[in-house]
């Protein structure tokens, strides 16, 4: 997709993040907001799982910078979850209730497109076949918006032991991460943001050991069986590495400590600058510069 201008409507597709890469997506989106790239009339954002929450914040105009109420809430609730005081679904619900308000609805409706998977489809079939998401684009009130975002992040069996979650009288679940972690845009103008690069990407991974490079490319395929182009991903920044950045918490789907939240937010901002070509050195800057 072409690099956008502030006066050109931007169409985004934000991938699922899990708890480990929500802060990275916050960082990318905060730079979009700072550059005014989601201000034009006609901008819209599709979102899967955690990407749906970030898409909602973009549509509503909720600040995602490190100094924002949303990031502070993410940090405080992550700390509570790490202490065993909250489960992931309750952490997510409290985050949404702290940051989304009734007055956001006029901005959200028609600009936000929450992507869900039919929860009545056999799970093994759902993991093998790429099907279009069920898209929800209008919400009657704040509570329905929050319920849609919670449903979008319902990973089958992993969160509360249930396969799907009821919404508007039907059962739905997380659209990602397999076989498609983001909604494929209708045309080449859609900017796809995924947590893994696309199959066609052959850029360098200087911080990644050789076996991890193979793993990154494998997961890039498994989370994008449609073979759609990926415009933005963490490896646009040479300092990003599964080996160096990811932690044991990621494997356990455990919310992150503040230091890791800050690091990934910084790397999300760096990915934005690498994408638009503004440049910030392209490297993994020292932690003192975050």
Q: For residue 80, what are the CA distances in angstroms to 69, 100, 145, 146, 251?
A: 16, 20, 24, 20, 19
Summary mean pLDDT of the chain:
91
Sorting pLDDT into bands at 50, 70 and 90, what band is 290?
very low
The least confident of 10-14, 121-125, 227-231, 263-267 is 121-125
CA quadruple 71, 77, 81, 87: dihedral, nearest 10: -110
* Helix axes of 69-82 and 18-34: crossing angle, nearest 10 degrees: 170
- Contact between 119 and 173 (Cβ < 8 Å): yes
**Span 2-30, pLDDT tens digits:** 566 666 789 999 999 999 999 999 999 99
- Give the per-residue pLDDT at 187: 83
């Amino acid at each position: 997709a072409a690099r956008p201008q502030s006066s050109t409507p931007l169409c985004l597709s934000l991938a699922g993040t899990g708890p480990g890469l929500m802060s990275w997506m916050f960082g990318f989106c905060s730079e979009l907001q700072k550059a005014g790239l989601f201000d034009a009339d006609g901008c819209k954002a599709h979102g899967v799982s955690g990407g749906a929450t970030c898409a909602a914040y973009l549509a509503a105009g909720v600040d995602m910078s490190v100094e924002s109420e949303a990031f502070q809430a993410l940090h405080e609730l992550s700390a509570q979850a790490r202490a065993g005081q909250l489960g992931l679904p309750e952490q997510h619900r409290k985050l949404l209730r702290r940051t989304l308000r009734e007055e956001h609805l006029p901005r959200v409706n028609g600009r936000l497109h929450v992507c869900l998977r039919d929860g009545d489809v056999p799970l093994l079939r759902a993991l093998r076949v790429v099907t279009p998401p069920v898209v929800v684009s209008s919400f009657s009130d704040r509570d329905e918006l929050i319920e849609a975002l919670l449903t979008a992040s319902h990973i089958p069996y992993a969160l509360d032991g249930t396969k799907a979650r009821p919404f508007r009288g039907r059962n739905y679940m997380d659209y990602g991460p397999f076989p498609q972690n983001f909604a494929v845009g209708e045309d080449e103008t859609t900017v796809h943001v995924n947590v893994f690069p696309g199959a066609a990407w052959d850029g360098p991974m200087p911080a990644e050991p050789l076996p991890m490079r193979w793993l990154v490319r494998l997961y890039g395929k498994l989370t994008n069986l449609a073979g759609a182009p990926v415009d933005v991903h963490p490896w646009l920044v040479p300092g990003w590495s599964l080996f160096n950045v990811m932690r044991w918490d990621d494997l356990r789907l455990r919310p992150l400590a503040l230091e890791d939240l800050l690091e990934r937010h910084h790397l999300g901002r760096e990915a934005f600058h690498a994408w638009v070509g503004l440049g910030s050195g392209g490297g993994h800057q020292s932690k003192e510069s975050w």
